[in-house]
Every structure is written in C-alpha cells, then in structure tokens.
C-alpha cells in the first residue's frame, strides 16, 4: 500500500490550496488519517487528523480556523483544504494512514501511523 499526496504548489499569501491523499495498491481501509508538514530546517509537525466515523477532526493550533480536513468517500481518500495561507505554512506536506483508530491523545503522534505518502510541496509567497 502506498499513500499518494497531491495538490501542492505555489500560492500567494491569503490564497488557498486543496491537498488530497489517496491509496494505491491493495485496498486500504483506514480508520485514522493525518496530515503532517516539515519546513526546511525544522522537524515534522502535526497539522490535522480525522478518524473514520469518529468526529470531530483535530487540528494544530496554528491552522485552526484556516484548514479543514475531510473524507473523500468516493475515492477512499482524505482532503486538506487550506485557506488564508501564510508564508509560515510553506512546507512539504505528508499524509499518513493508520488502519486502526488512534486514541485522541495520539492522533498528533507520527509514530502512530503505519503508512506515509511521499509528500507534496506547498510554497506560500509573501
């Protein structure tokens, strides 16, 4: 199973992008999907997570109110709608999947996830 993140690109501050994460290979039945990002010279950090049929989604404080994570049922995928983008959102964004439900306190822990996508670059210009 491979996760594939797409939708990154270059956008001006205040703009929007929509990332998508889907799976290839054998059928992947996920229960928890997360988005993480890594900016140059920084550690990977949690952005958002969603659990199948167990709302609400979870967000890092830095993106609350601007980013929305949602299920794409038709494609067994997850999207990340990013609005009001800021230069500090510039990073490589990774999606990660887990076949079991992660407990609430663990959704932001990258070690909880079993599968990772290759990353998609988001660049926000000022």
Q: Per-residue pLDDT averaged across 98-117, rounded? A: 90
Instruction: Please tell me whether residue 112 adopts helix, strand or coil conformation.
Output: helix
Greatest Cα pair distance in the chain:
41
- The C-alpha torsion from 16 through 7 and 48 to 2, rounded to 10°, is 180
Q: 18 pLDDT band (50/70/90 cuts)?
A: very high
pLDDT for the residue 17: 98
| Torsion-angle region of 76 (φ positive above 0: left; ψ -120 to 50: alpha; else: beta) | left
Cβ–Cβ contacts within 10 Å for residue 88, how many? 11
Q: Per-residue pLDDT averaged across 45-74, rounded? A: 93
């Amino acid at each position: 199973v491979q996760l594939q993140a797409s939708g990154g690109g270059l956008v001006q501050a205040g703009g929007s992008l929509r990332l998508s994460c889907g799976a290839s290979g054998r059928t992947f039945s996920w229960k928890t999907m997360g988005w993480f990002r890594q900016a140059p010279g920084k550690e990977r950090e949690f952005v958002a997570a969603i659990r199948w049929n167990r709302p609400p989604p979870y967000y890092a404080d830095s993106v609350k109110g601007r980013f929305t994570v949602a299920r794409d049922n038709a494609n067994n995928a997850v999207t990340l709608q990013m609005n009001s983008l800021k230069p500090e959102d510039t990073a490589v964004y990774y999606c990660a999947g887990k076949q079991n439900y992660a407990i609430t306190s663990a959704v932001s822990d990258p070690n909880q996830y079993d599968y990772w996508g290759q990353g998609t670059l988001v660049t926000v210009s000022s």
